[in-house]
Amino acid sequence: MLENMQLSKDPISYAEYQSDSEECDSFSDSINIYTNKFRNTATILTRVYSFTAIVFMVSPFVEYYLCKLRGMECLGYPHILPNWPLLDDLSIFGYILTVLGEFISAVYCVCVHVAFDMTAIGVMIFVCGQFSLLRDYSSRIGGKGKRCNISKRRDERAHFRIVRCHQT
């Protein structure tokens, strides 16, 4: 909600609120920074998981064919998920069906890991951005501190800033 308000540059306005030295409260640069952090992290993490999944799924078949090339005895057919030879004894179609199921399971597992890790990373980056906004808003509650005289107008301005600060 606060992000959309900041990115659309539709500031909160109260008719009675006036400030002589109020700075513009546009945090779209900060929002874009932590959005880009999330995108970059998502790209890197997805590439790492994809590469790992490909190596994990191809390695049993490479090992099997290297074993055959060296003339060594291989124990059964290669499997993506070891110790899961359900239909190997029936026929080659049973083996293909088993390997297809293993492939789908491995891809699903990688997708679940990516989704979980990206959710955790996204929440951490979002919370970091929210703390940055809260810090910036709360540092502006008292103004610049050049004049410390008590007045109704300054109290209303401080109250407005406190309300705005707590909307984050």
What local confidence, expressed as pLDDT, does residue 27 receive?
A: 65
How confident is residue 5, by pLDDT bands cut at 50, 70 and 90? low
10-14, 55-59, 64-68, 138-142: which range is least confident on average? 10-14
Kindly give the residue spans of alpha helices, DSSP state H, lying in 70-91. Answer: none
Q: How confident is the model at residue 10 (pLDDT cuts 50, 70, 90)?
A: very low
Alpha-carbon distance 9 to 14, whole Å? 15
pLDDT at residue 168 is higher than 70 = no
pLDDT band per the 50, 70, 90 thresholds, residue 44: very high
| The overall pTM is greater than 0.85 | no
Contact between residue 62 and residue 77 where contact means Cβ atoms under 8 Å apart: no
Q: How much is the average pLDDT of 128-153?
A: 75
Residue 15 phi/psi, 5° resolution?
-60, -35
Placement of tokens 């005895």 in the chain? 73
- Mean pLDDT score, 99-116: 93
- The pLDDT assigned to 16 comes to 44
Phi, psi of 6 (to 5 degrees): -70, -40
